[in-house]
Amino acid sequence: MTSSNTLPRLEIEPRPEFVEILRDEPFAASDDNSDGPQPSDSTQQINRAFDRLILQSATRLSGPVVLRLCLLAALALGGSAFVFSGNLLATAVATGAGALFPVALLSLQRARRRTKLAEQFPALVEQILRAARAGRGLDQSLEQIAARTPAPLGGELRLALRRRELGLTLGQALSELGERTGLTGAHVLVSAIRLSEQHGGELNDALQHLAQTQQTSALRARQLRETTAAEWATGVLVFLLQALVVWLFIVADPQQISRIATSRASLGLVAAAGAILIAGWYCVLRLSAARRST
């Protein structure tokens, strides 16, 4: 019996007439022509952020599947907490944590992938710059570069070149590279290529400037990662100390939780404390993200 992995691969003939089926907008967008109610701006932003998370994490799961996983994780953790503790507050916390667990995993996967892409991108710009200085065609050079570039950047380049076979220009085929990788340098590279195609701009100068910028950014990124690691270590230590204090508080008097649950004032204070803690962590994450982006 012949194994399925030994079957010859089918060669698909490029059909440029199918280029119209490609979506110009890869993220969620409202249909202005529909008669139904239109989503609000905040809802649209959440939908686009979710689509961007799915795209940049390179997961094989679709959006509806991820949402179902969030629902199942919320029911599993929330139900387990209710069965073992019988406390509604613990059940609510466990339900929220379960709902966010798949999203947190995808965010971690996206962060790791983006780090690898950021490490590979300066070498890509250098190779394109050398090919442009040698006078070689950019299409052929990108095919050779994509063939020897490892994943994940190599996979993104090969996907763009497959779009090129549908009849798109090189700039149009690479148009989604910035969104798929989440790299600012990728947006700049695509803009330089499209400008060179449309208006005949000097591509070598733009690539030279981009290469210098990437080298400087890589040096600053290494310094920032060292500083960020120290800040995260401090934050994790503070969080663990807070968790230890709460655990000792419960161990010292196990009846405290039941007394807090029977008092509205105590529940309000606990909710306020939890909200302040979450807001503090959110501010720390936003500050760290702002520092990385700058």
As to burial, measured by CB atoms within 10 angstroms (0-12 exposed, 13-18 middle, 19+ buried), residue 152 is middle
Per-residue model confidence (pLDDT) at position 258 = 75
Mean pLDDT for 234-258 is 73
Report pLDDT digits (tens) over 80-114. Answer: 989 988 888 888 889 999 999 999 999 999 999 99
Per-residue model confidence (pLDDT) at position 294 = 59
Residue 245: C-alpha distances to residues 238, 240, 249 (Å) = 11, 9, 6
Alpha-carbon distance of 81 to 73, in angstroms, equals: 12
Q: First-to-last CA distance in the chain?
A: 58
Which is more confident, 150 or 272?
150
Angle at 32 between CA 27 and CA 33, to 5 degrees: 125
Whole-model pTM: value is: 0.68
Asked if 60 and 154 touch (Cβ cutoff 8 Å), the reply is: no
Q: Chain centroid to CA 178: how far? A: 12
Per-residue model confidence (pLDDT) at position 13 = 60
Which is more confident, 196 or 28?
196
Write out the two tokens for 170. Answer: 């090189």
Q: List, in order of start, the domains of the chain with CATH numbers.
A: 116-219 (1.20.81)
